[in-house]
Structure 1
Amino acid sequence: MATALSVNVNKIAVLRNSRGGTEPDVVLAASTCLDAGAQGITVHPRPDARHIRAEDVYALSVLTRSRGVEFNLEGNPFAPPRAGYPGFAALCAETRPAQATLVPDSDAQITSDHGFDFAGDLGELRERIAELRALGCRVSLFVDAGCPDVERAAEVGAQRIELYTGPYAEAFAQGDAGATIALCAQTARRAQAVGLGVNAGHDLNDANLPQFLRGVPEVLEVSIGHALIGDALYRGLDATVKRYLDAIGRGG
């Protein structure tokens, strides 16, 4: 099965919020990505509403449901609700995304930069995953390549992992990604051996995607936002999505 492309449209909301108002339109941008062939839409609303807001999540859930494509909602399940942010579980309960990707980020992080630590008692994480699965969400956990306890993701009820690919992208840019690809592949195989599906995301782009997908077996989905939206400033959104789909095809 070909690797699916889920486009993260957070950066569209960053641009909109920098000026105020409604432009550029997050839903129209997502629809354009789907028209170009993307198989899903991803957003990562943060409690401080720095980009994607709760109302965007609601609108995108309607769009993706009407188009029959995957909606992937990312977030920290432990971040408390606050004004303008009802909490991750509440957003999932209201929108029922196909996939809930759990990320252990804090408010202070500019972007997600590490995966879950599966050492110690994971009872609270298991409870949050059970709540999401009861809503009909497939649950994926953000993990580091080389995670020593990746098998525990299955123990707590997750169905997939998402490999954090930031270190791979950095190594690729420096011209020597062999060791990081091997580590990603090893982690993927360990996860797959206990029945977990494997997704990947962070700093992937049309240049480094083919090598990554050739080296890491059976990646089900890549979630890409920052690089793709940046490239679209020069090439246009439709052309850029098609370019990324072509890169995925070259990695198959």
Structure 2
Amino acid sequence: MTKLSVNINKVATLRNSRGGNNPDLLQVALDCEKFGAQGITVHPRPDERHIRYQDVFDLQTAIHTEFNIEGNCREKKFVDLVLANKPAQVTLVPDELGQITSNHGWDTIKHQVYLQDMTALFKAEGIRVSIFVDPNPKMVEAAAQTGTDRIELYTEGYAAHFHRDPANAIKPYVEAATIAKSLGLGLNAGHDLDLHNLHYFYQHIPDLLEVSIGHALISDALYLGLEETIKRYRAQLRGKG
């Protein structure tokens, strides 16, 4: 079964735009769980423009499903935050300072030794590690050499070309997923997956363990309501798209 982890960054963005605690980020996370989300994802950044570091501590003590913290492990404050909270999973993303959103995976060849060290650090604390990568066979193969438990395929390319040519859009992801499986890597995916393209992705990617979805899901919830939105996303991952 492919799990749905809801990224709540956009909820934090809305809260921060007015100060105070409306919407209540913690309550939204608990409601996501109640409505069927099987995980909660956050991606704190140094400027705390959405998820604040204190949010991570608050969420860790309250949520009941898997907690996934994404971020740039080249930031010491991020590393310290993860080690202090010990989530179920840390997803290593190569963000640059001031980057609006994640837009590329790791060069797992160039940063091989560094990623080996970071993976070992987190795994020693019992934290499952996933490395954010593009659907490039060489990057998947090199990721396996880091000791990571999983990779997360960056799916923006798939989403951008899905409506024009689904078969070609999915092709590099099928190849990457097949290689990952052969190397014993667990497989996650995320970025720009939505109610239009998620089911096709799910159907064609073998052994997909988890998708992390935030922007599209929260946007859909404005029209459909949070409970109905999560229900519909879960349906895409049960062969009922």
Q: Structure 2: how far apart are the matches of 1:231 and 1:47?
A: 28
Please state if 1:74 is matched with 2:63: no
2:193 is matched by which residue type in structure 1? L
Q: Quote the residue 2:18 is aligned against.
A: 19
Aligned residues of 1:103 and 1:141 also touching (Cα < 8 A): yes
Q: Could you list the runs of 5+ residues in structure 2 that have no partner in the other structure?
A: none
Q: How does 1:104-183 map to 2 (within 5 A)?
A: 104-120=94-110, 122-173=112-163, 175-183=164-172
Q: Structure 1: how far apart are the matches of 2:125 and 2:226?
A: 33
Residue 248 of structure 1, CA deviation: 1.3
Q: Structure 2: how far apart are the matches of 1:202 and 1:120?
A: 23
SS of alignment partner, residue 5 of structure 1: strand
Please state if 1:228 is matched with 2:217: yes
Q: Quote the residue 1:44 is aligned against.
A: 43
RMSD of aligned residue pairs (Cα, Å): 1.3
Q: Structure 1: how far apart are the matches of 2:212 and 2:111?
A: 29
Q: Quote the residue 1:83 is aligned against.
A: none
Q: Structure 2: how far apart are the matches of 1:125 and 1:145?
A: 18
Question: What CA deviation, in whole Å up to 9, does each residue of 1:7-36 have, x standing for no partner?
Answer: 000000000000011110111111111001
Residue 4 of structure 1, CA deviation: 0.2
Q: Structure 2: how far apart are the matches of 1:192 and 1:206?
A: 26
Residue 177 of structure 1, CA deviation: 2.1
Q: Quote the residue 1:84 is aligned against.
A: none
Q: Could you list the runs of 5+ residues in structure 1 that have no partner in the other structure?
A: 81-86
2:75 is matched by which residue type in structure 1? A
Aligned sequence identity (%): 51
Count of paired positions: 241
Please state if 1:62 is matched with 2:52: no
Aligned residues of 1:8 and 1:41 also touching (Cα < 8 A): yes
Question: What CA deviation, in whole Å up to 9, does each residue of 1:30-59 have, x standing for no partner?
Answer: 111100111000000001101001111011
Q: Quote the residue 1:30 is aligned against.
A: 29
Question: What CA deviation, in whole Å up to 9, does each residue of 1:67-97 have, x standing for no partner?
Answer: 2x100000110024xxxxxx12211111110
Aligned residues of 2:38 and 2:66 also touching (Cα < 8 A): yes
- Call closer, same or farther: CA 1:201–1:251 in 2, change over 3 Å: farther
Question: What CA deviation, in whole Å up to 9, does each residue of 1:180-225 have, x standing for no partner?
Answer: 2111010011111111000000000111111001111110000000
Q: How does 1:187-206 map to 2 (within 5 A)?
A: 187-206=176-195
Q: Structure 2: how far apart are the matches of 1:156 and 1:144?
A: 16
